[in-house]
Amino acid sequence: MKTLLCLLALVISAPSFAAGGDPAKTALKILSRERGDSWLNNVVFVGGEKGTDQPVTWHVVVVDGQGALRSFYVAEGRITNEGPVPAPSVAALSGPFIAQKKFTVDSTIAFSKAETSAKAARIGFDSATYQIRAEQNGTPVYYIELKNAAGLKVADARISGSNAKVLGFQTYGPLPPQVVPPPLRQQTAEAVNRGVRGVGRGLNRAGQWIQRKFSPAPAPLHPYPPIGQ
């Protein structure tokens, strides 16, 4: 009994961690630890996909000593891959440096803000895709896409990375349902039925015309009896 109580106490007192992977600022600390603090001054992009609520892997893009963009992928407490950014992606990933002194809001807080906005808008979602970029003055901003289980975007959130203020929240309604045509066999049967009904109505009208044309005229009605009766 005493052993069971000790185990329960350990479970209750255990710290909670974000679902998925590490938060964004932890990924930057890992980069600093493994490559040096100087790299943090040159970060222009931090992103992650399919966060539940945090992504398993963070993509960090920095400007190296030669002025070229370099990617670092951080997961499971370490840098798992790195290399130069491919030329076709350079323009999309370039931007102002993220001022680390202004980067005070971690991705777990940004997610909580986006989730609260989604609940207020009655929007359900399955995962979050993150992009962290800087404004011209270096202030970081979270751009979070909320997606449903099918991978379709249902909302966009913009959260300040310096004070956690919600800068914008945009929802997207579901696509209109597609009208599925009935099977060809059903279409053919419906066309035949419409034709039969049309022929029947035509025959009925023809019969009424023949009856009016050739039937003897009815005797006139006399409202008063003939004289002498």
- Helix (H) or strand (E) holding 29, with range, is helix 24-35
pLDDT of residue 180: 60
pLDDT digit string (tens) for 69-100? 999 999 999 999 999 999 999 999 999 999 99
* Total residues found in the chain within this entry: 229
Rounded mean pLDDT, 206-219: 56
Identity of the amino acid at 53: D
Q: Is pLDDT above 80 for 208?
A: no
Q: Is pLDDT above 80 for 133?
A: yes
Q: Is pLDDT above 70 for 213?
A: no
Token pair listed for 6: 């000790």
Q: Is pLDDT above 90 for 63?
A: yes
Neighbours of 134 (CB within 10 A): 21
pLDDT of residue 10: 40
Domain residue extents for the chain: 18-171, 180-210
pLDDT band at 173 (very low <50, low <70, confident <90, very high): confident
Contacts of 37 (CB under 8 A, 6+ apart): none
CB burial readout 139-178, b (16+ within 10 A) else e: bbbbbbbbbbeeeeebbebbbbbbeeeeeebeeeeeeeee
Q: In the beta sheet, which residues pair with residue 146?
A: 128, 155
Position with higher pLDDT, 109 vs 7 = 109
How many angstroms separate the CA atoms of 226 and 1, rounded?
A: 121
Query: C-alpha angle with apex 41: 37 to 46, nearest 5 degrees?
Result: 100
pLDDT of residue 34: 96
Within the chain, how many helices (H) and strands (E) appear?
A: 5, 8
How many angstroms separate the CA atoms of 22 and 27, rounded?
A: 7
pLDDT digit string (tens) for 13-58? 333 334 679 999 999 999 999 999 999 999 999 999 999 899 999 9
How many angstroms separate the CA atoms of 144 and 154, rounded?
A: 11
The model's pTM is: 0.69
pLDDT band at 196 (very low <50, low <70, confident <90, very high): low
